[in-house]
Copies of this chain bind each other. A is one copy, B any other.
Amino acid sequence: MALAHDYTDVQYLPIPPKGADTAAGLFRLSVSMTFAKDEEIYGQDEDADLIYRVLDGAVRTTRVMADGRRQIGDFYLAGDIFGLEAGSTHRFAAEAVRDSIILVIKASTLRSSGGDVGRMGWEATRRELERAQEHVIMLGRKTACERVASFLKDLSDKSGDLRVVDLPMGRQDIADYLGLTIETVSRMLSQLQASRIVSFCATRRFRIVNPGGLARLANQTL
């Protein structure tokens, strides 16, 4: 298990991010921190008085059962907000998938403000809820192939790049997100490549060859 972050590299942001970014306003008073690959950002059951935003890198939220079974709640990429999923304590831990820069702000600052800022927090929570519900559909009723296809499609939808997409996470993380084993994920990826749906230029970088086919396999209901 990674050591708790020692908070020595906290630094105040000199300049607020651009105005075009709606979420940026929330983080005007935030501090920036860096986390190494696999370092813990917060732990399961820790107090939840901070809210986070990925500036660069990637983050996963995880929950581990007593016998070691692990479920990943979600992945967060540059621009995403996380840490909202909590009552008084976090129910998932958060870890850096790779070296990352994270903006941090006190939750109480947000929650207490009634106007625009508070509503933005609510909006962010609502988006989290939508993603969690999409995840429920995936885990409850989709086949292994549909899950992997959905995952690749979601990732490509999120990344602005037209056709070539980077996977920030390893196969085990994908498996723990999709409720599968690493072997099944690997097999499905090979299968998608064999069917000319996608094409891997490297282990963690692929191109979508047949977007229509991918969408059909993903079987999104919306």
Q: Which residues of B contact A45 (CB under 8 A)?
A: 222
* Residue from B44, B66, B133 in contact with A219 in the complex, judged by beta carbons closer than 8 Å: B66
CB-CB under 8 A for A141 and B179, given A92-B133, A118-B118, A118-B122: yes
Give chain B nearest CB distance to A188 CB in angstroms: 16
Considering the chains assembled together, what is the distance between the CA atoms of A45 and B222 in angstroms? 9
Instruction: Supply 14 A–B pairs (Cβ within 8 Å), ascending by A.
Output: A66-B219, A73-B133, A84-B129, A91-B133, A91-B134, A91-B222, A111-B119, A111-B122, A122-B122, A128-B129, A129-B132, A132-B133, A135-B136, A136-B139
* Residue from B84, B130, B139, B179 in contact with A126 in the complex, judged by beta carbons closer than 8 Å: B84
A interface bracket (residues with beta carbon within 8 Å of B)? 35 or more
The answer to whether A69 has its CB under 8 Å from any CB of chain B is yes
Q: Which residues of B contact A133 (CB under 8 A)?
A: 73, 85, 91-92, 132
Q: Which residues of B contact A132 (CB under 8 A)?
A: 129, 132-133, 135-136
Give chain B nearest CB distance to A12 CB in angstroms: 28
**Chain B residue nearest to A67 in the complex (CB):** B219
Q: Which residues of B contact A118 (CB under 8 A)?
A: 114, 118-119, 122
The answer to whether A14 has its CB under 8 Å from any CB of chain B is no
Q: Which residues of B contact A10 (CB under 8 A)?
A: none
Considering the chains assembled together, what is the distance between the CA atoms of A121 and B219 in angstroms? 32
The answer to whether A115 has its CB under 8 Å from any CB of chain B is yes
Residues A119-171 near B (CB distance < 8 A) = 119, 121-122, 125-130, 132-137, 139-141
* Residue from B114, B128, B140 in contact with A139 in the complex, judged by beta carbons closer than 8 Å: B140
CB-CB under 8 A for A136 and B66, given A91-B222, A121-B122: no
Q: Are B63 and A221 in contact (CB under 8 A)?
A: yes
The answer to whether A87 has its CB under 8 Å from any CB of chain B is yes
Q: Are A66 and B221 in contact (CB under 8 A)?
A: yes
Residues A86-106 near B (CB distance < 8 A) = 87, 91-92
